[in-house]
Structure 1
Amino acid sequence: MKEKLYLQDNVAIMNFDLAYPASTQDLVGSKTLGKFIIKYLKYLEKRDPEQYAWLTNGYTTEETCKALSRVFRQLMVLTPDEIDDYYLTDKKRLLEFVEGIYNYWKSHQRFSVTRQRYSGKDAKPFVMADSNFNTLLRSAYRSIEETLQGRATGVFRQLQAGTNAAISTYRPRKFTLSDKYKQLSDISMIESVMLRTPMILSTKSNTRSGMFEETKQNPIEYFSGNKDTWFCYPAKVGNMLINIYFHRDFMCSGVSLANLFELASSEECCDKPDAIVLFANEDDKDETVFHYDQEEDLWVGSISYNQKVEYFGYMKKMTLTLHNLSMMKKGWLPIHGAFINITLYDGKRKGIMLMGDSGAGKSESIEALKALGNDVIKDIEVVFDDMGTIHIEDGVPYGQGTEIGAFIRLDDLDPGTPYRDMDRSIFFNPDVINARVITPAAPYSVISKNHKIDLFCYANNYDKDLGMRKIDNMDEAKPIFVEGKRMAKGTTSEVGLSTTYFANPFGPMQKQEICDPIIDTVFDCLKDNGIYIGEIFTHLGLDRNDRDGINVAAQKLLEFIQED
């Protein structure tokens, strides 16, 4: 990134390699702050013309910026009475400007970027640098505020004044793809991420719409990115390596990946990736597509640059679509659902897998089970909370996960649930419908190994039945899972009762001819191994405020776990 400070809409990215203030004087006198002052003045010109007119006093925004910077530097060492300056004729108004620009800065999605130059035990200097910047900015604000007020501050709030997150990057030592993909070879890879949690982000889009469709043309042919505007998050998704390339305007989604997918090390990135994602490509196509490069044995996903894709679900689901397509080629069955291992104090242990499309009640049923069984449940091990797989080894079906975190809809959870792990979580638009949180769920060592399945149920959110129903006849059970019926609740653009092939529009729907025989094989294997197959009734599509359906379903799950 060439700029010291990149500003676009509500995104602000600091390049600490080019500009890093060593003192408060450096900060208030820097061209970097001046650039942001000019942006704020232009904001005031539209929002508060009277304040803007007083600040500019007939001068240009650039001249005003220099004048403000000068008076701020003076205020760092002198009292207002010792300074002869136009702005100090109305200290109250100048203080209003200081508080206004401070709050305007905090309203941005703020990030810092630096190149990693160290290794081993000294590999985290970027964390210290970012933390020091946070302290420096807050100190400068307080110093000027107290000077203009003429009194010391009584109450201190240690706000995240600097950035929301920081990343350390490196240039890959070895590029493992052919020259067809050489445009990607210079794009910086993310080596480390620091998140200031709880992190609260506001995005302009809050739902996902449309489908991921297959295209015959490889999106790399019209890829428009370069090393100055793009970054890469190398993600370990299940047992796959997927390089997620993203435009810097969508840094909020890019850094949020750290709470969802395991970050691959620079050594692991020396291997060829199984798939790549090109997120927010400026191609003027308004598309969400995937392509299989048979020559390279590589899945390529591409999402066009568009304000709507700021919703994190686009980045997450495209990545999982590529994972699922790859897994089906190996004969593994992708499961859109949740899978946990429950261990009771009496030693009983069961693997519980629930399946269903967005809003069916998978995560909600498990959260209710946790609360209901608090006195008897010793341990809960999350294998996956959204997407996983079933595969067969030596005649036994096993489950594996894809994500180390969970991207959960806040509206459907028990009111206290989101706050248990809020100190490690990322919140998206917590004040609106379909608010989401990404919270860590399980270590990579857990999600990437085989887990025994004891129960496999479809999450039914549309019928009025209560509890659970076991289905012994596979000719009756399979159509329920394959039809993928659910009452849509606003997590996507769908409304009302809908059907989705195998409740999974992220790979299986697009490749039904590949998925059908895998479903037959897996269900026969589940049946042969005596695994409980059936439905669990959540009622979430009937009334999202009614928790009775979820609670009864959780009770039945607990009874199943307690059985010998």
Structure 2
Amino acid sequence: MSRSIIIDGSVIYTNYSQIMGHKKFEALLKEFIEILVEKNSPLLQALSPFKFGDEYDTKRIAEYFNLLTMRNLKELSHILSYTNPVQLEKFIEAFYTFWRSKHRFMIRNEKYVNDYNRRASVEYTMTMVADQFKAVIKNLYRQLLSNITNEFPKVMRQLPSGAQAMFLYDYVKCENFNLNWMEKIPTIWGAIFDPPAIFYTKSNKRKGIIPVVEKNIIDKIELSSNEWFRIPIFVGKLLFFNFVHKDFLAHGAGLANLFEIASPKDIKNRKPDGIIIFGISPDKIPDYTDEWKNAVVFKEKNLYVGVIPNLDENDYFGYMKKTTLTVHNLIMIDNGKLPIHGSMAKITLKSGKSAVAMFLGDSGAGKSETLEALNRLDEVADVNIIIDDMGSLSIENNKVVAYGTETGAFVRLDDLPPGYAYHTMDRSIFMNPDKINARVIVPFNNYKEIVTPTKIDFLFYANNYTEVKNNEERIKFFDSYEEALKVFSEGKRMAKGTTAEIGITTSYFSNPFGAIQMREKHEKIAEKFFKKLFETEVKVGEIRTMLGIKGYEKKGTILAAKALLKLIEKKG
């Protein structure tokens, strides 16, 4: 059975029979029993009356559980002469936990309408259906335990047990770009989350550089409407079609929390700038080679197509995000823009002074962490984040301006201050919170603001590996664009466990997502932009976050934030 459970949101769930009489309930039960058999688990003792030879009759077990919702265990003794209540209680508890370990999604087919009030009504209905389903599941669990133990719990726990995310979808035909199979794929236009949404995936790190191959691919691939969903998103100002296999729908939910979802109205008459296919079987990728196993971007005549194969090691949201952003960056370079792997925010002090600071650096350099540290300083009134991970620079009216790509952040929990993750729990998606490189996907800004051109005051290289003892050395400015380019191009950092790398590493422009694949073209663009930064008196320097130095993982970014605070205070 799939790790993802897809629940039909068009059904109103009102009774236990709808649950236990469903073929998915029996399939779930069978899968759980097979796992117990493989482990030779003592929990199987509860099912001994239902064992015939080497097989367990799951249909009879489901029917018996259905009866248990109406009668207590003693009253059903005429059906089964012996059933140990203690063992059966433990089995039900374990089965309930198994159900809750699944990725649970409710989907409902609703025609997209332009009228806001009608859409709001549809979303409200979906929420009510999901709440009803959750209530039936919880009450089913409690009723079974009550009729087994002949008691009712003194303490009731409202455990998350319904759908973790609800999706509204329609079938959309795009007038300017459509393959035969594409209009048959359900297109998600709305999402509702039931926090805390926690997903456990098979992988927790990203590795390698995504290769770019010149090859026509999109007309040679066909996706099944029964297994795939299309999630149209805006990546900055670019329109992407992200196709997600149902087994990886957790990463589709992540997209909805990280990017602006494009509506059917947005995509109907517009050609996509990029396409991402996540979770396709390698044998369905034409001319597949092992070099593409983590991800590959195909460059067609007028389109980039990113593909992430269905492999356990790719079951990590980082592959979804970074493949999407790689395609975005390739398009930016083609258009003469400078993609930036970094973060940026407008920092406003209580004194009224403000500045826009951009930080460039690879994963774990301390970009987001420094902004978060700034937000906790008493002298700071507001830190308005415009870019969290990827953006681009453009020259407009003879000034360098920046644009963002994401409305949310994919943040490493280990580097956040204590309590921050719980502060955002009500709107976050958690990925593998019990592991190293645990992540949270949390929205931070609205789409309109991140795509508005923003003039920058400071551009910093985020240096996480140099230890400094005095405040004067925490920020260093470059005297020439050549000196700055040398440091920014080298892209040195101390790896923090966010990828498969360890120790001091280098990555061209700290950007393995497009810049390194088109290095020659990127170098010319970078030189042009750095010249313009110095011509227009944007301060370009290096900020020492010390995030990669033992003992400074928390303190280093606070010290860096305080140094930047002093700079803003001195700014005219």
Give your verdict on TM over 0.5.
yes
Residues 35-56 of structure 1, C-alpha deviations (whole Å, 9 max, x = no match): 2111111122122454435515
Residues 119-154 of structure 1, C-alpha deviations (whole Å, 9 max, x = no match): 414221222212211111001111111121112221
2:37 alignment partner in structure 1: 45
2:260 alignment partner in structure 1: 262
Change (3 A) 1:156 1:264: same
2:395 alignment partner in structure 1: 392
2:434 alignment partner in structure 1: 431
2:224 alignment partner in structure 1: 226
Cα distance in structure 1, aligned partners of 2:144 and 2:241: 45
1:130-279 matches, cutoff 5 A: 130-177=130-177, 181-270=179-268, 271-279=270-278
Q: CA deviation at 1:472?
A: 2.0
Cα distance in structure 1, aligned partners of 2:25 and 2:69: 15
2:317 alignment partner in structure 1: 312
Residues 460-515 of structure 1, C-alpha deviations (whole Å, 9 max, x = no match): 11222341001121121111111111121221111122211111010111111221
* Worse-superposed segment, 397-406 or 58-67: 58-67
Structure 2 residue identity aligned to 1:25: S
1:100 alignment partner in structure 2: 94
Q: CA deviation at 1:61?
A: 8.6
Cα distance in structure 2, aligned partners of 1:207 and 1:26: 40
* Worse-superposed segment, 108-117 or 237-246: 108-117
Cα distance in structure 2, aligned partners of 1:244 and 1:60: 47
- Alignment of 1:281 with 2:284, yes or no, is no
Q: CA deviation at 1:222?
A: 4.5
Correspondent of 2:386 among 383, 388, 398: 383
Change (3 A) 1:335 1:36: same
SS in 2 for 1:495: coil
Structure 2 residue identity aligned to 1:37: L
* Worse-superposed segment, 110-119 or 362-371: 110-119
Q: CA deviation at 1:420?
A: 2.1
Structure 1 residue identity aligned to 2:19: L
SS in 1 for 2:282: coil
Structure 2 residue identity aligned to 1:15: D
- Alignment of 1:15 with 2:22, yes or no, is no
SS in 1 for 2:57: helix
1:3 alignment partner in structure 2: none
Cα distance in structure 2, aligned partners of 1:87 and 1:470: 82
Cα distance in structure 2, aligned partners of 1:40 and 1:134: 21
Change (3 A) 1:545 1:43: farther
- Alignment of 1:336 with 2:329, yes or no, is no
Residues 332-356 of structure 1, C-alpha deviations (whole Å, 9 max, x = no match): 1111000000112222111010000
1:76 alignment partner in structure 2: 69
Cα distance in structure 2, aligned partners of 1:419 and 1:51: 35
Q: Is the 8 A contact 1:55 1:64 kept in 2?
A: no
Q: Give 5+ residue unaligned stretches, structure 2.
A: none
Q: Is the 8 A contact 2:216 2:300 kept in 1?
A: yes
Q: Give 5+ residue unaligned stretches, structure 1.
A: 1-6
Cα distance in structure 1, aligned partners of 2:460 and 2:317: 28
Q: Is the 8 A contact 1:224 1:281 kept in 2?
A: no
1:59-74 matches, cutoff 5 A: 59=52, 64-74=57-67
**Percent identity over paired residues:** 36
Structure 1 residue identity aligned to 2:172: P
Number of corresponding residues:
550
Q: CA deviation at 1:517?
A: 1.8
Q: CA deviation at 1:409?
A: 0.9
Q: CA deviation at 1:362?
A: 0.7
Structure 1 residue identity aligned to 2:148: L
Correspondent of 2:303 among 287, 298, 311: 298
Change (3 A) 1:43 1:380: same
- Alignment of 1:351 with 2:356, yes or no, is yes
Residues 242-271 of structure 1, C-alpha deviations (whole Å, 9 max, x = no match): 110111111111111111011111100112
Cα distance in structure 1, aligned partners of 2:296 and 2:142: 49
1:499 alignment partner in structure 2: 506
Structure 1 residue identity aligned to 2:532: C
Q: CA deviation at 1:280?
A: 1.7
Cα distance in structure 2, aligned partners of 1:480 and 1:36: 55
1:364 alignment partner in structure 2: 369
Q: CA deviation at 1:225?
A: 2.3
TM-score for both structures, normalised by structure 2: 0.92
Change (3 A) 1:68 1:236: same
Q: Is the 8 A contact 1:56 1:64 kept in 2?
A: no
Q: CA deviation at 1:102?
A: 0.5
2:526 alignment partner in structure 1: 519
Q: Is the 8 A contact 1:219 1:301 kept in 2?
A: no
* Worse-superposed segment, 313-322 or 478-487: 478-487
Q: Is the 8 A contact 1:469 1:536 kept in 2?
A: yes
Structure 2 residue identity aligned to 1:421: T
Q: CA deviation at 1:62?
A: 8.0
Q: Is the 8 A contact 2:403 2:451 kept in 1?
A: yes
Change (3 A) 1:545 1:204: farther
Q: Is the 8 A contact 2:207 2:499 kept in 1?
A: yes
Cα distance in structure 2, aligned partners of 1:222 and 1:88: 59
Correspondent of 1:89 among 60, 83, 86: 83
Cα distance in structure 2, aligned partners of 1:78 and 1:435: 44
- Alignment of 1:478 with 2:485, yes or no, is yes
